[in-house]
Structure 1
């Protein structure tokens, strides 16, 4: 009851109430910022992980010189390994794409037709046309949405693919140029893929790249991405001199390591906001103790114990901190709910694309909230608020009622 009364401003205590209100707002902002930023970082990592691994698998068995000659036997051996859920033959080669005299670098990916239609990152993100039009020998391809924008290319229009390793003539090597019709446009959400990928049936890629019956690699998916290296270890000795195994950690280690470091740094940097808010709680309680010195002395003379006085001021500070945490939770989840609208609105107001997919990799701002992280943020904020109350509460409990009543 006493703590509740002290939370409301008394006569001449408006400034103390203002500081307490600022403390509450600061805690709310700190908690909201931590929840929003950590959720976006988690979402960024999860989206990159899902989309990159959805297209590239957990590991690839890549042939030396870009050729795997006896791949059906190797494919069967790979599929039999414990922990391997699927293994698919692939051809992937950087080439040039040309439309109306405009040339862009592309990555040609050849896949079996059934594998193309079963890939959720491609089949589940068609923006135009249909994969049903793809067929071996039909000279049809599916291309990324950003590549279609760069080349001003639409479904049903032709694109010429240029293979520098063409035919040898007395005048040198003549590049091989083959025209294909765009059957579908897809957008997987990773800028680098959407601006470069040209997907075609495996047989057409073998013809274009003059690989005969060979493929370039085997894409492997396991039941646990973190154990991909260990799962494929039995293949390494068999592949000596034939192929090399690269898992997703080898291919993307720099990117995911940077994300982990950035996430850790952002957590501690944004935690400083909560620490600053806690110091505001500390200062407001110190001023409140000074303003309530006579009240404390009267309570002590009426029989209130030191522990009771401490509980009053600990309750005041903890209630301020807890209210700030609750407000921060509401604000944080509101920011996450409307994150894309906020980004789009700020971009329109400033005239600047603040979420450039060519820099950020992903076309949309992702978010994935980890309940354990949210719990850790809440516990951290409440604990710091509680610790900030101990010194003012101790000073209040240490008040000598005789001295106060004598001079005040």
Structure 2
């Protein structure tokens, strides 16, 4: 939409307050602020929702892989054969044996439910989710038969244990005696404390070498499952279909969607719902632009009539008023982008400040799963939000612009 020199001049004058037009300018300013808040709210919420999904996916998949081949009854006797078949499957990048069992942890009389996870030493030291997440100690100390373990930070807090402390793990399935089953209890030195960032993991996980887990659980040369990673997490079901057919009757292949179906489906539904609800804010802001333009047209009826008698075309008047409305929408959109990205950059500081002022815990990791407010802006979503705001602003200008263009100068100037 190209404007002539006089059209640009008039549009610029209409954007600034004239004598006796302060109220119209106030309504236009409110419209701009409303668009800004709507765009900012959409960007913040969608980025946080994307961050939730990305963080949960990264940490859950980082510890559990894209899928697991799990034996019936939690035991996989012929795991070496299945491991070879998994590694030979096209699209599989890695496959590692794994043991996972819920047990009890005891430290100086304090008992907590724990999830013992036996991993190969190589997997412990190269796992991207664990690397860089160690708060104290070192994962390098975890070697087979060394009697050392790594535990989650929340579990360490609950038990009051630190690096160097001796933690006992109780396995109810112990040895059988004439007086009944005696639980098996083995003590381990805490060699490292880690914080993955997912509350459920940090409050329960105990990592140990796979050989130590086999000894603790009396498994012998048996593992519980095989963790599998593929070239594409979204195509994991298709990639592992041949493997699932080969292990039928011996094991079950479960991918990350099935293991966390309720969580990721809830996030997807909430994401769509929040987008729809917050889009209404932008729509309300657009109605403010519509009302301010209608008021402007009524206030400028005499000016419009004079312009028409001086030769101004209908299309020129349409362009003038459309430019005014679209300019308000564009400025609001740009301000919304700035506000949204500013909030996202300082998001955790803002949450902490609100918690300090109100005295309320707004970010309880036991409810939110993650220890910090995540964020992952999606460029395509942000472009879509900006386009939506501009389209709504454009549509809001149509009625006032054509109303101004259809003004009859004869009727307006008859009594002047």
Does the CA contact (< 8 Å) of 2:152 and 2:202 recur in 1? yes
* Structure 2 partner of 1:354: 362
Using the alignment, how far apart are the partners of 2:145 and 2:333 within structure 1?
A: 62
Q: Does 2:127 align with 1:124?
A: no
After superposition, residues 28-43 of structure 1 pair within 5 angstroms as 28-43=36-51
Q: Does 2:209 align with 1:213?
A: no
Q: Does 2:57 align with 1:49?
A: yes
* Structure 2 partner of 1:17: 25
Using the alignment, how far apart are the partners of 2:20 and 2:31 within structure 1?
A: 19
* Structure 2 partner of 1:190: 198
* Structure 1 partner of 2:350: 342
* Structure 1 partner of 2:91: 83
* Structure 1 partner of 2:306: 298
* Structure 2 partner of 1:363: 371
* Structure 2 partner of 1:321: 329
2:282 to 274, 281, 288: 274
**How much has 1:236 moved relative to structure 2?**
2.4
Question: Considering only aligned residues, what root-mean-square deviation do their CA atoms show, in Å?
Answer: 0.8
- Length, aligned pairs only: 408
* Structure 2 partner of 1:66: 74
What TM-score do you get using the length of structure 1 for normalisation?
Answer: 0.99
**How much has 1:262 moved relative to structure 2?**
0.7
* Structure 1 partner of 2:401: 393
Aligned residue for 1:121, secondary structure, equals coil
Q: Does 2:390 align with 1:382?
A: yes
**How much has 1:76 moved relative to structure 2?**
1.1
Aligned residue for 1:98, secondary structure, equals strand
* Structure 2 partner of 1:202: 210
Give structure 1 regions of 4+ aligned residues with deviation exceeding 3 angstroms: none
Q: Deviation string for 1:5-31 (max 9, x for gaps)?
A: 011111111000000000000000000
Structure 1: gaps of 5 or more residues: none
**How much has 1:209 moved relative to structure 2?**
0.1
**How much has 1:218 moved relative to structure 2?**
0.2
* Structure 2 partner of 1:106: 114
Q: Does 2:198 align with 1:226?
A: no
